[in-house]
């Protein structure tokens, strides 16, 4: 039997396992500031990789990076009723701009430095970016405008969980304005496709891309699209959203242009965002009972070299040998970039380092002892193939040159294995043969600890009728996820209303 590196398994307690991975893999920690976390080096390193690869795709789609203020005046929110309704319950409000002594040895906001108009710490930037668009857009020649920003945002959350739901989080938000609704909707879907391809190709995370139902729309949006990923406990995680906003914000913010016939029109706007939540999704997609497994494309270090130092005269030669391996790795290309190899020279025991890197999920750990060096070898551990059948660690002694010859293929193999495992699990756990509400109840009653998702036919009710349906699934602790772009057409009746069905929607427990 295998003795795993973590003291809790996914099976035993998934929520505790998740927190344990975050701690043991050096991803993040509580900050002491309510609802906010400290993102530690390995976690932030993954975020930097996400930024680099996603940013390339965003720029490739013709977006320019920019930066807008963290503060949004209260009056900007007052202009768009639906939007403020959706966010007003969870915003940080700045009311003063100075502190003074409180007369008891402490500090307090200075009553004479109260802001005339409170400022909101941005929960999202449609309003302040819309105000800029209204300055930038005068004529059809100024369109499209396509910008992106990487920023921190704040939504006051009562119950927080690291990476998944924190009061402050990091994200990118892309915003664009177009002349026609058709173009704007098409570009909304392009944003969604960037997320789908990024999630699947870079994060090795299979997703369902599709449109959210009315009750799950972004406040102020005409349509919201999402990518949804299945975690190992069967729950759904919304990992990115793209919104067709129509003229909601252009009418509130006065984004008007003169069309080629000389008439004034409102621009059609869109926005799409992906956040540090993605990291939580990666942990729950790829992690195992030994810790995190980072897909090689997003690993800050793809290969970590650990010399078995012995505090003696041979150490210098051993380090030199390892540096040689590191240099050769840096000359190789995996996924179109130089291989990222770290030589870990920290003053801790080699075995502690090995397990540290396994828990962090470094794709390949290479250990080198004196005997390995003498034989021109290295000892290689691959994160997706950690144990032999007998439960012992599967470290293979191979010739240095053979390792260097194989390493790119090994990294590509790890990336593929992680995707394939997650894809097989997702595919095996989406049920499509439930044809009535009783069947839905019965599935979730009997599916065991980690139920999957159910795709059902529905009549796409709206307004009060939808509210009633939402109440019914909420009673089962279920939510609507999205209508997959790849869903089969509906052929029967709605399992909620009995009316003719118009599409197939995913129902699941969710983060």
Note the residues at the interface with a second copy (CB under 8 A).
Answer: 29, 31-33, 36-41, 44-45, 47-48, 64-75, 77-78, 84, 88-100, 105-109, 118-121, 128, 131-132, 135, 141, 147, 151-152, 154, 156, 168, 170, 347-348
Least Cβ distance, residue 307 to a second copy (angstroms): 18
Report CA torsion sign: 69, 70, 75, 76. positive
Nearer to a second copy, 99 or 428 (CB): 99
DSSP 3-state of 249:
helix
Least Cβ distance, residue 450 to a second copy (angstroms): 31
Nearer to a second copy, 39 or 380 (CB): 39
Least Cβ distance, residue 67 to a second copy (angstroms): 4
Nearer to a second copy, 74 or 476 (CB): 74
Least Cβ distance, residue 107 to a second copy (angstroms): 6
Least Cβ distance, residue 28 to a second copy (angstroms): 9
Question: Which residues, 6+ apart, have CB-to-CB distance to 13 below 8 Å?
Answer: none
Nearer to a second copy, 71 or 450 (CB): 71
Nearer to a second copy, 51 or 247 (CB): 51
- Rounded distance between C-alpha atoms, residue 480 and residue 291, angstroms: 30
Per-residue CA distances from 472 to 237, 469, 487 (Å): 21, 5, 23
Least Cβ distance, residue 280 to a second copy (angstroms): 15
Least Cβ distance, residue 66 to a second copy (angstroms): 5
Nearer to a second copy, 90 or 337 (CB): 90
- Rounded distance between C-alpha atoms, residue 206 and residue 281, angstroms: 11
Least Cβ distance, residue 162 to a second copy (angstroms): 12
- Rounded distance between C-alpha atoms, residue 78 and residue 279, angstroms: 34
Centre a 10 Å sphere on the Cβ of residue 401 and count the other Cβ atoms it contains: 12
Rounded to a whole number of angstroms, the distance between the first and last alpha carbons of the chain is: 33
Nearer to a second copy, 67 or 262 (CB): 67
Give Cα 82 distance to the centre of its chain.
26
Q: Where are the extended beta strands (E) located within 254-395? A: 256-258, 264-266, 268-275, 303-307, 333-334, 337-338, 341-343, 364-368, 377-382
Please give the backbone phi and psi of residue 235, each rounded to the nearest 5 degrees, phi first. -75, 155
Nearer to a second copy, 88 or 317 (CB): 88
Nearer to a second copy, 90 or 406 (CB): 90
Nearer to a second copy, 41 or 498 (CB): 41
Least Cβ distance, residue 422 to a second copy (angstroms): 27
Least Cβ distance, residue 258 to a second copy (angstroms): 15
Residue 16, exposed/middle/buried by CB under 10 A (0-12, 13-18, 19+)?
middle
Helical segments of 111-247, H only: 126-136, 181-201
- Going by C-alpha positions, the residue among 155, 160, 82, 86 that lies closest to residue 120 is 155
DSSP 3-state of 246:
strand
Nearer to a second copy, 41 or 492 (CB): 41
Per-residue CA distances from 468 to 464, 494, 496 (Å): 6, 14, 9
Place of tokens 């470290």: 395
Length reported for the chain: 511
Least Cβ distance, residue 216 to a second copy (angstroms): 22
Question: Which residues, 6+ apart, have CB-to-CB distance to 288 below 8 Å?
Answer: 4, 10
Report CA torsion sign: 447, 452, 457, 462. positive
């Amino acid at each position: 039997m295998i003795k795993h590196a973590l003291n809790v398994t996914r099976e035993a307690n998934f929520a505790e396992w998740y927190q344990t991975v975050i701690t043991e893999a050096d991803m993040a920690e509580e900050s002491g500031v309510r609802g906010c976390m400290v993102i530690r080096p390995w976690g932030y390193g993954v975020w930097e990789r996400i930024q680099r690869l996603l940013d390339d795709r965003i720029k490739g789609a013709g977006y320019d990076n920019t930066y807008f203020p963290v503060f949004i005046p209260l009056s900007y929110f007052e202009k768009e009723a639906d939007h403020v309704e959706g966010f007003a319950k969870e915003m940080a409000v700045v009311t003063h701009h100075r502190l003074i002594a409180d007369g008891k040895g402490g500090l307090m906001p200075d009553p004479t430095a109260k802001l005339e108009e409170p400022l909101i710490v941005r929960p999202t930037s449609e309003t302040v970016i819309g105000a800029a668009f209204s300055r930038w857009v005068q004529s059809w020649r100024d369109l499209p405008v396509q910008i992106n920003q990487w920023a921190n945002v704040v939504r006051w959350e009562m119950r927080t969980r690291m990476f998944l739901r924190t009061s402050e989080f990091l994200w990118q938000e892309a915003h664009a304005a177009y002349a026609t609704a058709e173009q704007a909707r098409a570009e909304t879907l392009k944003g969604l496709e960037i997320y789908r391809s990024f999630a699947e190709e870079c994060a090795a995370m299979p997703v369902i891309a599709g449109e959210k139902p009315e009750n799950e729309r972004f406040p102020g949006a005409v349509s919201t699209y999402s990518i949804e990923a299945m975690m190992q406990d069967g729950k759904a995680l919304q990992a990115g959203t793209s919104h067709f906003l129509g003229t909601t914000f252009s009418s509130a913010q006065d984004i008007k242009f003169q069309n080629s016939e000389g008439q004034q029109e409102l621009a059609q706007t869109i926005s799409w965002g992906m956040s540090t939540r993605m990291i939580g999704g990666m942990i729950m997609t790829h992690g195992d009972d030994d810790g995190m497994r980072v897909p090689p494309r997003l690993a800050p270090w793809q290969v970590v070299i650990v010399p078995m130092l012995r505090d003696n005269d041979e150490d210098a030669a051993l380090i030199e040998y390892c540096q040689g391996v590191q240099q050769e790795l840096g000359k190789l290309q995996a996924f179109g970039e130089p291989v990222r190899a770290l030589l870990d020279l920290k003053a801790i025991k080699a075995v502690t380092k090995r397990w540290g890197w396994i828990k962090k999920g470094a794709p390949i750990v290479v250990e080198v002892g004196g005997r390995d060096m003498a034989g021109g070898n290295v000892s290689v551990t691959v994160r997706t193939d950690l144990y032999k059948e007998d439960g012992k660690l599967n470290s293979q002694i191979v010739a240095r040159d053979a390792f260097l010859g194989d390493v790119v293929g090994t990294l590509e193999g790890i990336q593929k294995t992680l995707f394939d495992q997650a894809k097989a699990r997702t595919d095996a756990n989406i049920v499509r043969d439930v044809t009535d509400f009783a069947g839905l109840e019965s599935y979730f009653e009997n599916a065991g600890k980690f139920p999957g998702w159910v795709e059902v036919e529905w009549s796409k009710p709206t307004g009060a009728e939808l509210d009633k349906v939402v109440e019914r699934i909420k009673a089962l602790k279920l939510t609507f996820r999205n209508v997959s772009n790849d869903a089969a057409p509906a052929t029967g009746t709605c399992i909620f209303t009995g009316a003719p069905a118009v599409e197939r929607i995913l129902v699941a427990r969710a983060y």
